[in-house]
Structure 1
Amino acid sequence: MAAARSTPALKVAPTRHPWRWVISAVALVLLAQFVHGLVTNPGWDWSTFAKYFTAKSVLSALQVTLELTLWGTALGFLIGTALAIARLSNNPVLRVISWVYIWAFRSIPLIVQLLFWFNLAYLYNTLSLGIPFGPSFLTFEVNGVISGFSAAVIGLALHQAAYSAEIIRAGFISVDPGQLEAAAALGIPRLRQFRTIVVPQAMRSILPNATNEVISLFKGTSIVSVMAIAELFYQVQVVYGRNGRVVPLLMVATVWYIILTTILSVAQFYIERHYAKGAQRTPPPTPWQRAWQRLREVADIGSAAPRGATR
């Protein structure tokens, strides 16, 4: 026992990672070179960028882009939810129709779909509402109802629905069926089962992929420029077609896309945090909470240091 007590404590040597610091230094040098090039290279023409970044025409086009994204997302996920439910139903007709729709709209390029809806009047001059294979109650001209903006919304929404249907279906089937069996045994109504059991758990797997789809749709609205709709990318093309300042105008569109994508990513983080409450009793702190906690720790250490010195 005495020999064991006299044995000196082992000194733990910290693990050294010299290559980690070397790689970090190289990365910082490359980043500094990139930033230096952005600041000093006259080709970026930041004065032109600042002139058009908040120009009225650009902001108006940005509003059109946001409207296309909003309508395409809302209608796309609404139709996609119906398609997902149809694919999971016991009705074979609904399952086949849903599968064929998803297969078709995922197979056809988005630009082809948009151009098809834009030229719908070539196939149908008029559309009517009434009894199938029977009399019609309302007839209207296609060109007078489906404008370029409406055609873009229809194309984006139907295209988005095919992808969102599979995302939503994957979220639904990720829920343990044993929980629904237990809820049914307790006599919980099916609508309440769906609202309180299926949706909160399915959203954890739906949200990341759904946000990716929304971001892709937001950036994909630039493709409607082929239909001469004055969205952000089209308006930027019009401006640099007049003044020849291609790079700074492309940077105007790029920065706006980055800003709004960042806002969507932040919203995704907080929505995921909300739906993570059921899986984690105490959700992890947000980046702002971690930064504030770190500042408080540094402040506590700084205030405790003089007290220790006086002792």
Structure 2
Amino acid sequence: MADSAYKAPANATDTTALVVVPLRHPFRIAAITMVVISVAAILYSVFTNKEFQWPIVGHYMLNPIILRGLATTITLTVAVMIIAVIIGTIAALMMLSPSRLLSVPARVFVWLFRGAPALVQLILWYNLSIVFKTITLWLPGVGTIFSVQTNDVMTPMTAAIVALSLHEAGYMAEIVRSGLNSVVRGQTEAALSLGMRPALSIRRIVLPQAMRLIIPPTGNEAINLLKTTSLVSIIAVGDLLYSAQAIYARTFETLPLLIVVTIWYLITVSVMSFGQYHLERYFSKDDRKTGRGRSRGILRRIFSFRQRAAVA
């Protein structure tokens, strides 16, 4: 009998009279006690240390400058994620194309923009005017349609959206491609044999099934993108971090402002994680009950002090 002990009665043939004795886990109790004590000690040290200047943190939490920076961060994240999903999906479909004229450029696109660091891309796009002084649209037989100065177009916000969108599109292309490849090829062939066009079969057969594998990494990428947007402060975009820097550059209250930024990032990530959880539940309706029961069983096994074993 695994992980349990029992006392056999005098009449060993009477199995219904067996008394199950719970098996104790002293090391598990000791580990949980140490963790609780350590967390309590850390929290006590943080909240009682005057150097953290918690009153100043509370004062700046709803500061208009901080809230405007937070709004810019959220807007930038949403805009970049929408563009990245669109471009990444197109690149994924191109990579899956049997034509090399489509698959090879898509693979080069993913290799380039996923491989180059986001910060480097931000700086390069922001300084695009060094290479291209003007942006001109010219058509044969028509001539110049319009021409504008690159600096007038490539503002800090535009450079941030372009750079981060292309960077995230490289990751999204691989996420969508792996999700589409997870669908059994026979289903696509069956749809084509029924007369469905390839685009229709992808939209109605492949994508609904692939979403189960696409949603979780996409949610993680969105959360990671939210934190990556802090890089745009390098090119003077008024995001959350840049707003905090603008304040503590005048007041020298560096640590409290950085704590404010951290708290707002944690709040926003928590909201996004909650939304991701419900999206995953929506696209995994069939496995909802099984997954919930499995998760609860795992939590019970991890945090239970004593474990009772069933008698076979």
For Structure 1 versus Structure 2, the TM-score category normalised by the shorter chain is 0.7 to 0.9
For residue 103 of structure 1, what is the aligned residue in structure 2? 111
Higher RCO (C-alpha under 8 Å, 6+ residues apart): 2
For residue 177 of structure 2, what is the aligned residue in structure 1? 169
CA distance in 2, matches of 1:18, 1:56: 52
Query: How far off is 1:233 after superposition?
Result: 0.6
Query: How far off is 1:72 after superposition?
Result: 0.9
Specify whether residues 230 and 270 from structure 1 end up closer, same or farther in structure 2 by C-alpha distance, changes over 3 A only. same
8 Å CA contact 1:83, 1:165 repeated in 2: yes
2:141 paired with 1:129: no
For residue 294 of structure 1, what is the aligned residue in structure 2? none
8 Å CA contact 2:122, 2:164 repeated in 1: yes
* Equivalent position SS for 1:12: strand
Give the alignment of 1:134-283 within 5 angstroms.
135-277=143-285, 279-280=286-287, 282=289
CA distance in 1, matches of 2:99, 2:16: 76
8 Å CA contact 1:276, 1:283 repeated in 2: no
8 Å CA contact 1:273, 1:283 repeated in 2: no
* Equivalent position SS for 2:146: strand
Identity in percent: 37
Query: How far off is 1:190 after superposition?
Result: 3.5
For residue 74 of structure 1, what is the aligned residue in structure 2? 82
Question: Unpaired runs of 5+ in structure 1?
Answer: 291-311
Specify whether residues 4 and 236 from structure 1 end up closer, same or farther in structure 2 by C-alpha distance, changes over 3 A only. closer
Specify whether residues 22 and 190 from structure 1 end up closer, same or farther in structure 2 by C-alpha distance, changes over 3 A only. same
CA distance in 1, matches of 2:101, 2:156: 34
How many residues get paired?
284
8 Å CA contact 2:83, 2:165 repeated in 1: yes
Query: How far off is 1:132 after superposition?
Result: 6.8
8 Å CA contact 2:92, 2:173 repeated in 1: yes
Query: How far off is 1:209 after superposition?
Result: 1.1
Specify whether residues 33 and 97 from structure 1 end up closer, same or farther in structure 2 by C-alpha distance, changes over 3 A only. same
Give the structure with the higher percent helix. 1
Query: How far off is 1:17 after superposition?
Result: 0.9
* Equivalent position SS for 2:137: strand
Specify whether residues 8 and 154 from structure 1 end up closer, same or farther in structure 2 by C-alpha distance, changes over 3 A only. closer
TM-score normalised to the size of structure 2?
0.85
8 Å CA contact 1:128, 1:140 repeated in 2: yes
RMSD (CA atoms): 2.2
2:17 paired with 1:9: yes
Query: How far off is 1:156 after superposition?
Result: 0.6
2:40 paired with 1:32: yes
Letter of the structure 2 residue corresponding to residue 241 of structure 1: A
Letter of the structure 2 residue corresponding to residue 202 of structure 1: A
For residue 57 of structure 1, what is the aligned residue in structure 2? 65
Question: Unpaired runs of 5+ in structure 2?
Answer: 1-10, 297-312
* Equivalent position SS for 2:20: coil
Query: How far off is 1:144 after superposition?
Result: 1.6
